[in-house]
A = this chain, B = another copy of it.
Amino acid sequence: MRNLRKPYLLFLAGVTLKSDAKTGFGLRDWCPADVIGEWALPQATVSLGLQVVTPADAAARGAGSLLIGVAPVGGQLPESWIPTLVQALDAGLDIVSGLHTRLETCPALVSAAARSGARLVNVRHADRYLAPGTGRKRSGRRVLTVGTDCALGKKYTALALARALQALGADASFRATGQTGIMIAGEGIAIDAVVADFISGAAELLSPDNTADHWDVIEGQGALFHPAYAGVTLGLLHGSQPDAIVLCHDPSRSTIEDYPHIPLPSLKEAIRRYVEAAQLTNPSVRCVGVAINSSTLDDTAWTRYRQAVADELDLPVCDPMRGGVDEIARALLA
């Protein structure tokens, strides 16, 4: 639940694949006002289309942090990044990292941070004491995005839903559970990085007691049907004690990504299983809508698919990137 120093300079290192710069694109799309510009190494071929700013110039313009906007293979810190990170620290910028490797394991960064007083911030690592979940009912209202698989829009859906609720006049907060979400929100807990015993306890901390009509819109993680990450998903579901869930799905997938031997459940079955599991800590939980990542469908196919799903499930069906999620936000407030 740390507070990050905004605005950010987005560092893209030597990125050559757009998908490796997912964090940078997420920041650009969801909090452009918090972004000063981008900076990369000479070998980079991907750009976010933002103004190119050196670390020193960014600091002079009021930036608070250099944010690592790319995910290197393996999550380690490449040697080639270190001179740039040291320059940023020397200019007084914090370094904000979502890598598995803690920045403190690099002595050059520790020295530079000590020189300037800037901070090394590892958003994947919890910075506070965690405890097992209590299952105690909290005040306020909560909605959690859940998925048929990983990496199909749970964060974007939660961000869009928080904005749609605010636009409708509701009091709503986005609650981040992953590294990019935390960088966007400026706070949160990377739920997949906590000790297994404390998953639901961490989720409880993330959405504390609130006023009766306040909505926490909680970013989901993993999937209940994922052979690697279902434990994270279930602990987050129990600790979030959601009043409502929104199911996210990508119709181009029929098996779990990278696990071709594990078929996806039907949407109906997925909803049944999520609601059944969530009833443990909130017996009145309901599914209020379906968020589709329709990027592989043309307009005709999307219109047809959307209608078919809405008819089958009798729920609002939206794509946050294609028309928004107002219909789901309204169902939530109804």
Contact = CB atoms under 8 A, between A and B. Distances in A.
Interface in A21-75: none
Contact of A199 (B132, B134, B231): B231
Contacts of A90: none
Nearest to A197: B192
A93 interface: no
A273 B224 CA distance: 13
Interface in A253-276: 256, 259, 261-262, 273, 276
A133 B191 CA distance: 17
A281 B227 contact: yes
Interface string A183-215: 000000001111111011100000000000000
Max chain B C-beta neighbours (<10 A), residue from A197, A199, A200, A231 = A231
B225 A235 contact: no
Nearest to A135: B227
A228 B132 contact: yes
B197 A199 contact: no
Contacts of A132: 228-229
A238 interface: yes
B195 A280 contact: no
A236 to B, nearest CB: 8
A291 interface: no
B225 A280 contact: yes
A164 interface: no
A203 B189 CA distance: 24
State the copy count for this chain.
2
Contacts of A15: none
Given A132-B228, A133-B227, A230-B235, A195 B197 contact: no
Nearest to A239: B227
B195 A193 contact: yes
A191 B199 CA distance: 13
Max chain B C-beta neighbours (<10 A), residue from A137, A191, A235 = A235
Max chain B C-beta neighbours (<10 A), residue from A197, A235, A277 = A197
Contact of A227 (B238, B261, B262): B238
B193 A194 contact: no
Max chain B C-beta neighbours (<10 A), residue from A200, A259, A280 = A280
Contacts of A230: 200, 234-235, 238, 277, 280
The 5 closest A-B pairs by CB, nearest first: A231-B235, A135-B227, A132-B228, A133-B228, A231-B231
Given A132-B229, A201-B228, 4 more contacts: A132-B228, A135-B256, A228-B238, A231-B234
29 contacts: A132-B229, A135-B227, A135-B256, A135-B259, A135-B262, A192-B195, A192-B196, A193-B195, A193-B196, A193-B197, A194-B196, A195-B196, A196-B196, A196-B199, A196-B232, A197-B232, A199-B232, A200-B229, A201-B228, A227-B238, A227-B239, A230-B234, A230-B235, A230-B238, A230-B280, A231-B232, A231-B234, A234-B234, A273-B276
